[in-house]
Amino acid sequence: MRQSRFLASTRRFRGRLVRAWRRLRPVPVPTPLPASVEPAQPPLAETGFEAVSEPAVSIVIPVHGRFEHTWRCLESLRLASVAAGFEVVVVDDASPDETRRRLQALPNLRLVTQEENRGFVHSCNRGAAEARGSYLVFLNNDTVVTDGWLDELVETFDRFPDVGVAGAKLLYPSGRLQEAGGVVWRDGSAHNYGRSGHPDAPPHDYPRRVDYASGACIMVPRQLFLDLGGFDELFAPAYYEDVDLAFQVRHRGLHVYYQPRARVYHLEGATSGTRTSHGVKRFQTVNRVKFERKWRHALQRHPQRGADVHSEKDRLHTQRVLIVDHRTPTPDQDAGSARILGVVDLLVELGCKVTFLPVDLTAVEPYAEQARRRGVELLAAPFVRSARGHLKHRGDDYDLVILSRFAVAERYAPLVKRYCPRARLILDTVDLHHLRERRAAELAQDATGLERAAATERRELAVAHLCDVTWVASDAEQELLRKALPTSEVRVVPTIYPDHPGGPAYEDRRDLLFVGGFEHAPNVDGVLWFAREILPLVRRSLPDVRLRVVGSRAPNEIRALGSPAIEIEGHVPDLGPLLDGCRLSVAPLRYGAGIKGKVHQSLASGLPCVATSIAVEGLGVESGRELMVADEAADFAAAVVSVYGDAGLWARLAGNGRVHARAHLSSARVLGVLEEMLAGAGLRTG
């Protein structure tokens, strides 16, 4: 006992040291642009560009002199690794230098020439008219692109259905941020958000709706651009044509998105200078007045110059939602993470800006990157030093705060009440902790454990009472909480599992599958029980059957089960091949609470399941219809043998399970709950 307490104390101390180091470590230095683009293959003059008969993207580059910049831009296009097929259309606007002569010799570069200098707007429109791609990218010649930049812009349109224009993250040659999307003030003046900041800071590192994106690098569907009449010649020769395009796109019901994964270095002012008192740059001031007159009515909905730009950068999102959980979501390791990410996707679909705050302030990869790609602002060290500090300084930004899991809510609900005064506060229980503890104690006949469970229940109910709404995973838990807290609002929010298209037939499958993370004690108990008491009975009838155990952080007692009859797979990032290859899944849980992700996933995948009553609690299923239910070892083994050996029963359970999953575990059901809840609180959706 003393040794276990010492080890637990040591782990807690080590954890504090690790968390302190994460918070105190310095912010990394941004990556600067190399002094020159160093070819890793034969130079551009010899190779030109790859011939593409049907390009997905046309990159339009207007140029007027400054050949050295154009050459470096083209060289970066050649060297950058991208998957999308593209063509390069350079519009030479009567360059006074060697531009035309040098570019005419480049293989597979489409050169459009103009005999007089008509300016940026006309050159872009001319290039668009000559383009063949489904998408247009307008790219300044004083830019240097990076690996994957083009694919990331295309992916923006694939991920977000309301995109009309996608803009890149623009960087100074030093590596500092030049722009992470733009804000337009009521007087028509524009602000480059994030200027001179760190490019990887959380506010700059997630895709979001913006007022506009600078025309140094933007992507727009070619047909949409042509339908709008191209850049408005009102703004010729240059400046404000990109802001005007953004407003036109929004007038069509679409949005401009900033895409931080598309990183482009921009030598700002290299071609037109930076002073607005003379040269082409003077049109920035002239065209602001034209723009303000054209869009005066729309600009009345914009903030006055001088407003808090950190809040206004997300103004085009309907609501601002903060989610606090114990760590970065790991959806392939625990059902709670899959649950919260399903909610995140729907909130983004509803137009919400979602910020995720892991209590440990650790951006666990690749999961952090996956969350950011969804449109999530992930707060982590070293940019965020403490959760309390963020709530104190930015708490008033949020309309909705979701605290995931009881332990997180117990710690942070008072802080949210203090620092987020206008936010509606939600407790997502994931499962009822006290219920799981009580059942474990009852199974072990542990009187002390029952006392701990009672204490947990009092704490859990106190937190639920403090919050405005409590989310539970099943009807059974909703009924339990409503009895304990009759005046509280309790909503059922099930975990979402997408419908599976259907896998191999019965005869092409073999073996049994268990899925569950082993940080969760009921999974450890369930596998041990199945291995020791159920599997030997099963193998009397099915001597060749194996149990395949999937789950992260398996303890020694689980790993020790490995044998010809039991394969310990460990963590498996993609469960698809196992769900399609195994004939039956098992959920032998003897205690627990909440909805069991392993059962949900099995039903949605069309993989028949044998489970205990605890494992299917609140699911609304019937034994023999969607799955098989058994609580005693002998009965459980008999059910496994029955389904495993009966193709007709197997097919009936597989089909009914998928039907049940579509009805109860779909995104449409949860979307309806979220819309109703937001509307009931007077919060907008869109």
- Tell whether the model's pLDDT for residue 641 goes beyond 50: yes
CB atoms within 10 A of CB 486: 8
Q: Say if residue 260 is preceded by a cis peptide, omega within 30 of 0.
A: no
Q: Are 77 and 141 in contact (CB under 8 A)?
A: no
Contacts 24+ apart (CB under 8 A), 476-483: 476/617, 476/618, 477/429, 477/431, 477/432, 477/435, 477/593, 477/594, 477/618, 480/432, 480/435, 481/432
Give the CA distances from residue 672 to residues 470, 519, 679, in Å, rounded to whole numbers and listed in that order: 16, 32, 10
Q: Which range of residues forms the domain containing residue 357? A: 320-492
When mean pLDDT is compared across 174-178, 316-320, 671-675, the lowest value belongs to 671-675
Q: How many domains does the chain have?
A: 3
Structure tokens at 14: 């080590």
Q: Are residues 647 and 576 in the same domain?
A: yes
Calpha distance 72→78 (Å, rounded): 10
Q: Would residue 135 count as lying in a domain?
A: yes
Q: Would residue 639 count as lying in a domain?
A: yes
Tell me the per-residue pLDDT of 79-97, one tens digit each, with 9 for 90 and over: 999 999 999 999 999 899 9
Q: Would residue 41 count as lying in a domain?
A: no
Residues 6 or more apart whose CB falls under 8 angstroms from that of 56 comprise 84, 85, 86, 133, 134, 135, 154
Structure tokens at 46: 């010899």
Give the CA distances from residue 421 to residues 60, 397, 412, in Å, rounded to whole numbers and listed in that order: 49, 10, 14
- pLDDT in the model for residue 274: 53
Q: Would residue 18 count as lying in a domain?
A: no
Q: Would residue 1 count as lying in a domain?
A: no
- pLDDT in the model for residue 686: 64
Q: What is the mean pLDDT of residues 99-128?
A: 92
CATH number, domain containing residue 428:
3.40.50.2000
Confidence of residue 593 (pLDDT cuts 50, 70, 90): confident
Q: Would residue 450 count as lying in a domain?
A: yes
Q: Are residues 546 and 476 in the same domain?
A: no
Tell me the per-residue pLDDT of 41-81, one tens digit each, with 9 for 90 and over: 567 777 789 899 999 999 999 999 889 999 999 999 999 99
Q: Would residue 204 count as lying in a domain?
A: yes
For the chain, the 3-state helix, strand and coil shares in percent, each to the nearest 5, are 40, 20, 40
User: What pTM value is reported for the model?
Assistant: 0.87
Q: Are residues 221 and 117 in the same domain?
A: yes
